[in-house]
Amino acid sequence: MEKLRGAAIFGQSGGPTSVINSSAAGVIITALGQDCITKVYGAEHGIKGVLNERFFDMSLEDPKELELLKVTPSSALGSVRYKLADSDVDDTDYKRLLEVFKKYDIRYFFYNGGNDSMDTCNKVSKYMKKVGYDCRVIGVPKTIDNDLFGTDHCPGFGSAAKFIATSLMEMYQDAHVYDNGRITIVEIMGRNAGWLTASSVLASAKGMGPDLIYLPEVPFDEAKFLEDLERVHKANKGSVLVAVSEGIRYADGTYVAENGIIDSFGHKQLGGAAANLARIAQEKLGTKARGVELNILQRCAAHCGSKADVDEAYMAGEAAVLKAVEGYTDYCIGFERSHENGEYKCNIKLISLTDIANAEKKVPREWINDEGNFVKDEFVDYAMPLIAGDSRTPTEDGLPRFARLKKVLAD
């Protein structure tokens, strides 16, 4: 196929991850090396930056800083949560996009994000096709949640999983120093899919992880939970480490996190799932319990990144550019794994944007034990290769040296 000549634009969208910028580096560095790509623009705050003509000229960045992007967490160009309307209902944004694309001769559109961002990609691609504007659109996946459909796993998940498993091992050490133990309930991200919470089992596989794990894939049974807790509490001389997903729900669909306190004005106070369970455990079992939220570090702790994840995130960005130059459009980059001589290998595949947009992948029920309070070895085998190798931001004065981009606006 003939090579399409023109400018490329790249945007970041949705919640940040530790490695979203590694994909950015993959796209930018690879695009800068293509003869047919005349300019490489970075959009400020994703699609919003395209609509507002806020483009950074990526050729003006120091190559050393672009390299540092690989180990700089969060979205260096700025992110956005913006849903494009259906073009049949309201085509204002699309007309504007076309205008901007024409003005800058944009022929390559790379967009990095999760479900919603792939929906944006899909809509942009379909509109450009409809109006006959030749432009190649490729999505680059990212999400710590690992819930994207059609791919073996997602860039961002491995580093989050590694931070979670590492932290749980450290917290296990911390929770076991006294002879009169206590209950520690750790809340991990994941509203509908339990991939991140399941990752805590990697710590258990090393003998220093949670005793009990509850995912949103299985309805949460409070009576059963208290039974589990009491059993482990007795067996472990008091020390119990529990991992729960923020999204666990009772059988009636209510979130455990909503099982909060009604304040004096009658308002329901949303506690975290872990805080609520710690309160319930303490009341019912009469034993000390604390809730701990791993919180936003899960998605930005680049100081404890997975080398496999950082490399694969870069590879996804690189592949997006190479595939687009080859002529592919309307796809999202995906991964499939193979085993060569027993060694894990991650290969690129292409997923139709229509297939990936808005679908959601959960932890298979058969990877969770029958009782619904632990995760099976199948998950350990799946996740172990994804946290392999250590990626760490280089330090200066003992602190991370993140990329410093110039972000020069293009005329």
> Binders of a second copy: how many residues, by CB under 8 A?
61
Q: Which is nearer to a second copy, 20 or 135 (CB)?
A: 20
The yes or no reply on residue 160 touching a second copy (CB under 8 A) is no
Burial of residue 260 (CB within 10 Å: 0-12, 13-18, 19+) is: middle
Question: Which residues make Cβ contacts (< 8 Å) with residue 395, sequence separation at least 6?
Answer: 401
The yes or no reply on residue 270 touching a second copy (CB under 8 A) is no
Considering the complex, what minimum distance in angstroms separates the CB of residue 52 from a second copy?
10
| Cα distance between residue 183 and residue 291, in whole Å | 9
Binders of a second copy among 306-325, rule CB under 8 A? 306, 308
- For residue 391, which amino acid is it? S
Q: Which of 106, 121, 144, 83 is nearest to 333 (CA)?
A: 121
- One residue of 166, 192, 236, 287 binding a second copy per CB under 8 A: 166
The yes or no reply on residue 384 touching a second copy (CB under 8 A) is yes
Which DSSP helix (H) or strand (E) runs through 116? helix 115-130
The yes or no reply on residue 286 touching a second copy (CB under 8 A) is no
| Cα distance between residue 86 and residue 160, in whole Å | 33
| Cα distance between residue 194 and residue 364, in whole Å | 10
The yes or no reply on residue 300 touching a second copy (CB under 8 A) is yes
Query: Rg of the chain's alpha carbons, rounded to an integer?
Result: 23
The yes or no reply on residue 19 touching a second copy (CB under 8 A) is no
| Cα distance between residue 321 and residue 75, in whole Å | 19
Residue whose structure tokens are 């399941």:
198
Supply the DSSP string of 279-330, one letter for each residue. Answer: HHHHHHH-S-EEEEE-GGGGGT-GGGEEHHHHHHHHHHHHHHHHHHHHT--S
- One residue of 2, 35, 252, 263 binding a second copy per CB under 8 A: 263
Q: Which is nearer to a second copy, 70 or 136 (CB)?
A: 70
The yes or no reply on residue 208 touching a second copy (CB under 8 A) is yes
The yes or no reply on residue 1 touching a second copy (CB under 8 A) is no
DSSP class of residue 43 equals: E
- One residue of 103, 223, 253, 264 binding a second copy per CB under 8 A: 264
- Respond yes or no: is residue 381 known to be catalytic: no
Q: Which is nearer to a second copy, 6 or 400 (CB)?
A: 400
Pairing of strands 399-400, 395-396: antiparallel
Give the binding range for a second copy (CB under 8 A) out of 29-37, 85-93, 227-235, 396-404.
396-404
Residue 130 three-state SS? helix
Q: Which is nearer to a second copy, 240 or 351 (CB)?
A: 240
The yes or no reply on residue 206 touching a second copy (CB under 8 A) is yes
CB 302 within 8 A of CB 71: yes
The yes or no reply on residue 262 touching a second copy (CB under 8 A) is yes
- One residue of 74, 125, 151, 200 binding a second copy per CB under 8 A: 74
Q: Which residue in the list 145, 211, 228, 330 is annotated as catalytic?
A: 145
Considering the complex, what minimum distance in angstroms separates the CB of residue 328 from a second copy?
29
Q: Which of 39, 20, 34 is nearest to 101 (CA)?
A: 39
Instruction: Please give the distance of CA 63 from its chain centroid, rounded to a whole number.
Output: 26
| Number of CB atoms found within 10 A of residue 401's CB | 13
Give catalytic residue positions: 145
The residues of the shown chain that bind a second copy, judged by CB under 8 A, are 12, 16, 45, 48, 72-75, 78-81, 162, 165-167, 169-171, 173-174, 176-179, 184, 202-203, 206, 208, 261-264, 266, 269, 292-293, 295-297, 299-304, 306, 308, 384, 387-390, 392, 395, 397-400, 402
